[in-house]
């Protein structure tokens, strides 16, 4: 069972459950003050505005009671996916490196973007080809990925960058970077391949009736 953690202010938890269910997974929402169910085989930290993004996005939710269990589960190899606010929570809780901070535009950005698959040899990207371009929506005000130079070099060397913002032809350019992220980074792996975070929303591009199913490959990562 995939546990979709619901924080105060989450607004994509139901979307995640529906998208996962459409792919054949058993998924249910779990309140952040409750323990993870014993039958948990995967975890989603969904998008939204946990605690109203006070202090900074994800900082308060990262200290919610359930997050210690999430970290322990991740250490045991349980797959964990953080999306948008969930990506911020993942970074703030130490599950993944770096931080997501205020967009270079200083504005909330809600639009469709193109992503280039940088590493197709992971559970989260195995459905794609390296270099493939997919289209996903974003909706964030604090999506700019930042990391110190030394750790960023390590991230690249270890092939832990999953997606970069690009144009429709796959060119990684400043113009195709919606939020000013370092290196156009849109998604990264944690220390383990079982943990990943990304700012774009795969669950919003997973249902055929929405006209775009490019995100289904990311959610398929829960199959292992």
Query: Catalytic residues, which ones?
Result: 84, 201, 203
Asked if residues 182 and 145 have their Cβ atoms less than 8 Å apart, the reply is yes
Q: Which of 136, 180, 140 is nearest to 162 (CA)?
A: 136
Pairing of strands 2-6, 27-31: parallel
Which whole-number Å values give the CA distances from 9 to 20, 48, 55, 158, 198, in the listed order?
Answer: 21, 6, 14, 34, 19
Cα distance between residue 54 and residue 155, in whole Å: 29
Residue whose tokens read 């054949």: 24
Q: What angle do CA 91, 126, 208 make, to 5 degrees?
A: 90
| Six token digits for residue 181 | 């992220």
Phi, psi angles (nearest 5°) of residue 207: -95, 125
């Amino acid at each position: 069972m995939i546990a979709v953690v619901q924080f105060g202010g989450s607004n994509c938890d139901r979307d995640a459950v529906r998208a996962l269910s459409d792919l054949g997974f058993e998924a249910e929402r779990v309140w952040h003050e409750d323990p993870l169910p014993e039958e948990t085989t995967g975890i989603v930290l969904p998008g939204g505005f946990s605690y109203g993004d006070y202090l900074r996005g994800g900082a308060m939710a990262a200290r919610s009671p359930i997050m210690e269990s999430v970290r322990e589960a991740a250490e045991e190899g349980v797959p964990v996916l953080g999306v948008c606010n969930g990506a911020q929570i993942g970074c703030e809780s130490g599950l993944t490196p770096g931080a997501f901070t205020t967009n270079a535009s200083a504005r909330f950005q809600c639009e469709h973007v193109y992503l280039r698959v940088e590493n197709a040899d992971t559970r989260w990207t195995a459905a794609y080809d390296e270099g493939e371009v997919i289209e996903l929506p974003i909706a964030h005000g604090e999506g700019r990925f930042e990391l110190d130079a030394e750790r960023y070099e390590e991230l690249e060397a270890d092939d832990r960058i999953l997606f970069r913002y690009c144009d429709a032809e796959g060119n990684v350019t400043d113009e195709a970077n919606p939020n000013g992220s370092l290196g156009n980074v849109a998604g990264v792996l944690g220390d383990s391949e079982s943990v990943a975070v990304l700012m774009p929303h795969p669950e919003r591009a997973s249902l055929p009736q929405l006209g775009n199913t490019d995100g289904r490959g990311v959610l398929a990562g829960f199959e292992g």
